[in-house]
Structure 1
Amino acid sequence: MQCDYFDAARCRSCTLMGVPYAVQLGDKQRHVVNVLAPVTRGVAWLPAHAGPEAHFRNKAKLVVGGSPGAVTVGILDRGGSGVDLRHCGLYETGLDELVPRVAGLLDALGLEPYDVPTRRGEVKHVLLTHSPDGEAMLRFVLRSQKHVALLRSRLPLLLDVLPEVRVVSVNLQPEHKAITEGDVEIVLTEADVLPMRLGDVVLFLRPNSFFQTNTGVATALYRQARDWVARADPAVVLDLYCGVGGFALQAAAAPGRRNRVVRGVEVAPEAVVSARRSAAALHSSGASGADLAFAVGDATDVMALAGVTDRADAASLVVVNPPRRGIGPALAAWLEASATTHVLYSSCNVESLARDLAAMPTLRAREARLFDMFPQTSHHEVAVLLERADGAGRS
């Protein structure tokens, strides 16, 4: 991939820009295999899954800079001034055309960008998410409510200029800190969710819901998870750190037992609301007969989880998709001592993954696969299927 912004040293976020993509992918594969080698003896590595090296991002997280009527959307330089990257080549088709029009709308509305050096202004970020159906969610991150009334009054104009936008919201982030979002979200449109269609499963994303940046590779990751669930055919599936329910929904739709019990646990209430809506849609479509439910909870609270997998009588599967720090010693110890027969671990940090696998020696890695969510960077996503060694664990 060639990038004018990188060549001009305006943006160096893509640290591997200029390295042939086949080399990038090979280097990532070798890295994850080498780090996991001590804890994955005998594992079968499936071919790495990669999508296109450009035009893959479904999200645009844009720092707003410049001045009213002459905004920049992109990043800030070291001095805090805006660097315009509206034509970044990573945005997927549809989003790449939407970003410049959003920048033009900011100019047309005369919104005041937030100036980091002086700590003045209002608009800090614009966040865009684009769906496979061509719809989009647009979020304005503001310092205060000063522009909320203006945005509400100009909403018809905004939707006329940006007809693909389904959801518009304002997020309030009043603090002068290097954080993107605040706690308060004000939805301006009647619609408050963006449907993300992944085959026969639809995820309903609310404004602050997390979803993978690369829709195509995320779809492949979920497809792999569904295949592993179908092969194990568990009676009970427990999806920890379930977010908006991606893995749990795939487990509910996987071939095998029609009466499978699937439970998702997630600490963020808004994500659970989204997951429950997706579960209702999946059930009404007839794509699943599973007993599927989601609850707000801490995935690392092993006391609250005790006994959940034992209901499966040694025919259960636990999905863990933790943040970069991994699942930690307490949850790893609980899984090691549990009766679950399979664990599906999806990780964005192979170092913490290796530590966690070392803490679960009777859960042996059977298959693993690299999913390249972030071409042009060293970031990676690895999925591993673990299986209880014969005779190990509780009976």
Structure 2
Amino acid sequence: MKPVQKNDRLNVYVEDLTHEGAGVAKIDGYPLFIHGALPGEEVEVHVVKTLKSYGFAKLLDIKLSSPFRVTAPCPVFDVCGGCQMQHLSYDGQLAFKEKLVRDAMARLGKLPDVPVHAIKGMDNPWRYRNKSQIPFGERDGETIAGFYRTRSHDIADTDTCIIQSEEADIVMRELKHQLHAFGIQPYDETAHSGLLRHVVVRKGRATGEVMVVLVTRKKKLPQQEAVIALIRNQVPNVKSIVQNVNPGKTNVIFGDETVTLWGNDVIEDRIGDVRFEISARSFYQVNPDQTEVLYKQALDYAQLNGDETVIDAYCGIGTISLFLAQKAKAVMGVEIVPQAIEDAKRNAQLNGFTNTLFEAGPAEEVIPRWFKEGRKADVLVVDPPRKGCDAHLLGTILEQKPERVVYVSCNPATLARDLRILEDGGYRTREVQPVDMFPQTTHVEAVAWLELGM
């Protein structure tokens, strides 16, 4: 029998946070997950759902508040799904994320003795995002724009987002207020009608250059010149205005057709001394300040002296690859998205690198072929998606045994799982460095340094 029932009202003590940022209270060992509650708090809750092993409760009142609780500065924090941690002080956020990495290493990776360093956070954890994807819609005859509510496609209407650029706020606000005057209907997802689906705003952090992408259901854009003029007048540093056409009944943001309406096809940014050209659909890290911290750590762990050949699995547009190419003899990058590989080649040329090679394809297929062709790696760098490394790629690493592996991770759980596999195959994890790439959210990155048979 469960110790709590649906609709119970309880006073509970919050012990911990889940990896999604929900408070955890336990009643006779039975976990209750409470959105908005923080560790160390005594709270009154209403039990809304009970399952066999855990339940969910709604926060009603805070009887004893955490010293790390702060008032969230965003007016739509309670409903928007973009941020989960604004009610926790930044010091508290950093402690939570560092603990996530330490717990994953000890509990999931069975590596309690591996040093996990203090997390590297930001001096100013606001306005850091260089890319915003803003859905547009309509409610009661009025245009709305903002971000989706948690676990839904309902738009939390707002005029500002304090983790994105000021330019994104301006574009969102001005287009929202002028859309009907231009004769443009916002997209209705249910009816698959209307025109403007999303507005994507990208900004080069180092250069200040801005790109605005209008994602539309049809190609014809009413009063196109007036829309361009509005954006140019309101955002003086805009360098590119682009239209992407997505006619599909889909949740995917971009369609296949992209045309430049005004200005350049790309904007430019720099991470450290490396330049990057960014197009409308380029993958590019959204926090370039912390990306530089992350990549410098990866470069440090790679321990390059200029004689090494490096393979960069999951290379994207070559951001890590080009960082490594500054110090390596040769860098080979592989990525499954062909357009990203074309971007990587272009960025290598832009920076004058002649010691890089990029190929499109699954890393777990391309890298074994490279090894068979005699293209051996002294150092292998992996930066996989949240699901972690493909099992075949891990097998290839263990078979070919590069001296050093640098693992860049966006998911502590899959990082710990994969480190355990590599450890069992003869590698030793020397240390792990967490980096806060996404302040105000629950996400954390980490870089691990592995050596063969230490």
Matched, 1:146 2:220: yes
1:60 Cα shift? 1.4
Does residue 317 in structure 1 map to residue 390 in structure 2? Answer: no
Question: Which blocks of at least 5 consecutive residues in structure 1 are unaligned?
Answer: 391-395
Deviation per residue, 1:263-307 (Å, 9 max, x gap): 111122221222122211222xxxx6x611222222121565441
Q: For 1:377, what is the secondary structure of its paired residue?
A: coil
Structure-1 residue corresponding to 2:162: 89
2:439 to 362, 375, 379: 375
Q: Where does structure 1 differ by over 6 angstroms across 4 or more consecutive aligned residues?
A: none
Amino acid at match of 2:419: L
Query: Which residue in the other structure is 2:128 paired with?
Result: 56
Question: Do 2:81 and 2:148's aligned partners in 1 also have CA atoms closer than 8 Å?
Answer: no
* Greater radius of gyration (CA): 2
1:15 is aligned with what amino acid? Q
- Residue by residue over 1:146-192, the C-alpha shift from the partner in whole angstroms, topping out at 9 and shown as x without a partner, is 32x74368545543443322222222222223222223322333521
Q: TM-score, with normalisation over the residues of structure 1?
A: 0.86
| Conserved 8 A contact 2:170-2:234 | no
Comparing both chains, which one has the higher relative contact order based on Cα–Cα distances under 8 Å and sequence gaps of 6 or more? Answer: 1
Structure 1 SS opposite 2:128 = coil
Shift, 1:81, TM fit: 5.6
SS in structure 2 at match of 1:186: strand
Indicate the percent of aligned positions where both proteins have the same amino acid: 29
Structure 1 residue 10 displacement after superposition: 4.1
Q: 1:177 to 1:53 in 2, by over 3 A?
A: same
Q: Secondary structure at the match of 1:176?
A: coil
Residue of structure 2 aligned with 1:24, choices 87, 93, 96: 93
CA distance in 1, matches of 2:331, 2:74: 47
How big is the shift at 1:242? 0.6
- Please, which moves more after superposition, 127-136 or 64-73? 64-73
Amino acid in structure 2 at the alignment position of 1:372 = D
SS in 1 for 2:393: helix
Aligned to 1:213: 286
In structure 2, the CA distance between the partners of 1:228 and 1:219, relative to structure 1 (3 Å rule), is: same
Following the alignment from structure 2 to structure 1, what is the Cα–Cα distance between the partners of residues 95 and 305? 30
User: Mapping of 1:268-307 within 5 angstroms?
Assistant: 268-283=337-352, 291-301=355-365, 305-307=369-371
- Alignment correspondent of 1:111: 184
Cα deviation 1:43-68 (Å, max 9, x = unaligned): 33233111133222112111101279
Q: 1:97 to 1:123 in 2, by over 3 A?
A: closer
**Are the equivalent residues in 1 in contact too, given 2:171–2:231 (CA < 8 A)?**
no
Query: Is residue 72 of structure 1 aligned with residue 144 of structure 2?
Result: yes
Query: Which residue matches 1:338?
Result: 400
Instruction: Give the Cα–Cα distance (whole angstroms) in 1 for the partners of residues 273 and 141 of structure 2.
Output: 44
1:2 aligns with 2:72: yes
The residue number in structure 1 matching 2:41 is none
Residue 262 of structure 1 deviates from its aligned partner by 0.8
2:330 maps to a residue whose letter is: V
1:137 counterpart (207, 211, 230) = 211
The structure in which a higher percent of residues are helix is: 1
Q: Residues 379 and 403 of structure 2 are in contact (CA less than 8 Å); yes or no, is this contact kept in structure 1?
A: yes
Q: Name the TM-score, length of structure 2 as normaliser.
A: 0.75
Larger strand percent: 2
Q: How does 1:249-264 map to 2 (within 5 A)?
A: 249-254=322-327, 260-264=329-333
Aligned mates of 1:302, 1:135 — CA distance in 2: 36
Q: Does 1:237 align with 2:306?
A: no
The offset of 1:375, in angstroms, is 1.6
Contact 1:6–1:17 (CA<8 Å) still a contact in 2? no
Q: Distance in 1 between matches of 2:238 and 2:395?
A: 45
Q: Show CA shifts across 1:206-251 (max 9, x none).
A: 2111112212111111121222234565510111111110110000
Q: Aligned residue pairs: how many?
A: 377
